[in-house]
Amino acid sequence: MDPTALFLSRIQFGFTISFHIIFPAFTIGLAAWLTVLEAMHLRTGRPVYQSLFEFWLKIFGVAFGLGVVSGIVMAFQFGTNWSVLSKMSGPIQGPLLSFETFWAFTLEAGFFGVLIFGRKRVPPWFYLFSTAMVALGTTLSAFWIMTNNSWMQVPVGYVVQNSDFVPNDWTKIIFNSVVWSRFPHMVLAAYLTGAFCVAATGAWYLLRGEYRAEARVMPRMGLGLAAVLIPIQLVFGHFVGDYVHDYQPAKFAAIEGRWHDEQPAGEVLFALPDPASETNRYEIKIPILGSIIGSMSLTSKEVGLTDFPPQDRPPVLIPFATFRIMVGCGLIMLAIAWLGSYLSVRHRLERSRFVLWSIFLSFPLPFIAILTGWYTAEVGRQPWVVYGLLRTADAVTPFLTAPAARSSCSAQFTCSSVHLFLRHLLHLPAPARWPLTIFG
């Protein structure tokens, strides 16, 4: 195995998956929002809901298409660059990912056609039904992807036969607490992403004084939803932390920046972890809080990274930093959602230009939170690709050479950056350009 090829494969996969997640994160929430709009339109008959629907449907279409294209590349990268993983965990990961294609893709693609072409061809109730099916499809897709990834985080329900992981209990693989805390965490994150993009777009139009009827609805609905969902998201985030604490203690220690066992443990708020000396520099720490967060106790002992041999430790700096960025984004979003909703209920939002500007500028936050959350989960799982069973270094295609990996890697980078550049030149509907230009 060629170390350069391994490194390039990891970079390439990380790049592909980061590029890809932007679009599903956006479309899952957007599909639900479209369903709500269509239902409101049917119930109230107000034209504002229909014009909002048509506006967001266009954006949904573009994001959906980009999600599909980047997803195809990802599906094949498992086979091209990670053939050992594909073979060993194929009996489990293969079916889970094929369920994603079969269940979700079918629903989405089938009913998406109705949304685009069918407004005049099908009765209104069926149009609403199609919108709901697209939303269900995007959510099911997230479910199978989360089931698959959760198995890589905490492998269950398998036996090892001829060095392959063979499933022996599918109910365990699908119905376990890891899946059912991480799946809601991801779906909520996607809904928040949709909510903030909608609210930011509305705020932008309010600031410019255009399309007032539509622009008023967007921040009200977006922020109202976010104001309710963010506290729930924090609870699910805590559940996700619990599984990491119980099943992946090394990752947990890395996130916490805890080098040595502590009893009771403190919580590091900020620090610069230094792997060479196995200590933190510039540390700000609250005593006992670490035990409360980790084990809901005032006295529990929490493990440190030095309990694990160096070859089994994840890199510390990335999970430590990305976790804090994710939580920070969440807290800023909470403040904006609550403040904005309060002003909106009081009918003062339109006059508060400062708040409108903050809402408009907040749209990258959910994307950043999702990316950093995934970096925490995936980098924190290292050096394993299937936790405790298969190391990332052993999963790469054995005969892959550095030049081959480099050529495909650079070709993909070039294509994506050309694409990124062109998006800026494109004339998409105005503010819709923002989330897509910057991240797409």
* Binding interface with another protein (CB under 8 A): 58, 61-62, 65, 68-69, 71-73, 75-76, 78-81, 83-84, 86-87, 90-95, 97-103, 105-106, 109-110, 113, 116-117, 161, 164, 166-168, 170, 397-401, 403-404, 407-408, 411-412, 415, 419, 422, 426-427
Q: State in angstroms the smallest separation of the CB of 353 from another protein.
A: 33
Q: State in angstroms the smallest separation of the CB of 299 from another protein.
A: 45
Beta bridge partners of 390: 386
Q: State in angstroms the smallest separation of the CB of 62 from another protein.
A: 8
What the block records as the tokens of 143 is 């479910």
Query: 258: number of CA atoms within 13 Å, CB side?
Result: 31
Q: State in angstroms the smallest separation of the CB of 91 from another protein.
A: 4
CB-nearer residue toward another protein: 56 or 375:
56
CB-nearer residue toward another protein: 54 or 210:
54
d(CA 73, CA 412): 10
Phi, psi of 389 (to 5 degrees): -115, -40
Task: Find out whether 107 and 133 touch, Cβ atoms under 8 Å.
Answer: yes
CB-nearer residue toward another protein: 156 or 288:
156
Q: State in angstroms the smallest separation of the CB of 61 from another protein.
A: 5
d(CA 427, CA 228): 35
CA distances, 171 to each of 17, 150, 157, 305 (Å): 27, 14, 8, 33
Task: Calculate the CA 192 to chain-centre distance.
Answer: 11
CB-nearer residue toward another protein: 293 or 400:
400
Q: State in angstroms the smallest separation of the CB of 389 from another protein.
A: 16
Q: State in angstroms the smallest separation of the CB of 83 from another protein.
A: 4
Backbone region of residue 167 per phi and psi (left: phi > 0; alpha: psi in -120 to 50; beta: other values): beta
CB-nearer residue toward another protein: 69 or 284:
69
Query: In 183-274, which ranges are E strands?
Result: 267-274
DSSP state, residue 397: -
CB-nearer residue toward another protein: 110 or 388:
110
CB-nearer residue toward another protein: 75 or 232:
75
Phi, psi of 140 (to 5 degrees): -60, -40
d(CA 435, CA 422): 14
CA distances, 165 to each of 87, 97, 151 (Å): 9, 16, 11
